[in-house]
Structure 1
Amino acid sequence: MSVDDGIRTLELELASLSDELTAPAWRECVLCYVNRMVVAFGCDGRLRWTREWRRRRAPRATKLERRAGRAGAYCDCELFVSGWDVAVDVVHDPATGLDLWPDSISGCRGVPAGRIQPCALWVRRNGRPDW
């Protein structure tokens, strides 16, 4: 095996690993996917992960990025700053006066393939309609 063959093999392995790391999980909604990718890889100021989810899960939803912009999200992290929040019940602690989040929030609630609406884990801020 030559050095060029070794480099080519390594490139193929890295491409395969990259694809595995960034693939949406089965029935994973757009917001759970984007949140997972932003936590793992960050936001680059674009709708990079939103586009990637659409490409893989809902290719016919060609207006998804435009709808995100109408919701005030022009990059992936803005989906959570100005658009959606986690729909969990907080517990009010009367001793401290603080609202406490549950110890953990995990797992997408799932959506059918091709559906762009987020799963039940997410609610729109300020009661605005989805997308």
Structure 2
Amino acid sequence: MLERELAVLAFQLTTPRLRECVLCFVHRMLDEFGCDGRLRWACHWRGLRAPQATALERRLAQRGGYCDCEIFDNGWSPVGDAVTYDAAIDEWRWRGARPTCRGVRRGSSQPCCLWMQLHRPRWHP
């Protein structure tokens, strides 16, 4: 019985919210569970929300996102008015609580309007 309850809880914790974009989901999962050096959360999101987005990993890699955390280190960041720089810890932080994902249409692998691409050269493996 405990195993079943744990499986249900794990599913609830790691299921994308309704209309949640890939970047909001991955960022939320990184805060909760961290990065394991793979595109674990991006691929999990794709499998549940946009299985037809077969080029998602390639698109993320072109922006330097070879694992979940690199998506945000190299490819995308929150729009400027959503974050503030905290010099004490040398880190960008959300202004207040993390905003709710602005949502995307069903099956879309594009980020919502909370995210902007970083203007860096494209990565070529």
TM interval, shorter chain, is 0.7 to 0.9
* 1-structure distance, mates of 2:52, 2:119: 28
Tell me whether 1:38 sits opposite 2:25 in the alignment: no
* 2-structure distance, mates of 1:31, 1:117: 8
The amino acid across from 2:20 in the alignment is E
The amino acid across from 1:16 in the alignment is V
Q: CA deviation at 1:86?
A: 0.4
Q: What per-residue deviation string (whole Å, max 9, x for no partner) do you get for residues 21-66 of structure 1?
A: 0000010000000000000000000000000000000001111111
Greater displacement, 70-79 / 103-112: 103-112
Partner of 2:116, secondary structure, is strand
Contact kept, 8 Å, 1:88 with 1:121, in 2: the verdict is no
Contact kept, 8 Å, 1:45 with 1:75, in 2: the verdict is yes
TM-score normalised per structure 2 = 0.83
Map 1:116-131 to 2 at 5 A: 116-126=109-119
* 2-structure distance, mates of 1:101, 1:28: 18
* 2-structure distance, mates of 1:63, 1:28: 19
Q: Which runs of 5+ in 1 are unaligned?
A: 1-8, 92-99
Larger Rg belongs to:
1
Aligned equivalent of 1:6:
none
Q: CA deviation at 1:88?
A: 3.1
* 1-structure distance, mates of 2:101, 2:118: 19
Tell me whether 1:28 sits opposite 2:15 in the alignment: no
Q: Which runs of 4+ in 1 moved over 3 A?
A: 100-105
Q: What per-residue deviation string (whole Å, max 9, x for no partner) do you get for residues 69-117 of structure 1?
A: 11111000000000001013278xxxxxxxx973344110100111011
Equivalent residue in structure 2 for 1:115, among 88, 108, 115: 108
Equivalent residue in structure 2 for 1:54, among 46, 49, 73: 46
Identity of aligned residues (%): 53
The number of aligned residues is 113
Aligned equivalent of 2:55:
63
Q: 1:26 to 1:125 in 2, by over 3 A?
A: same
Note the aligned Cα RMSD (angstroms). Answer: 2.1
* 2-structure distance, mates of 1:101, 1:62: 31
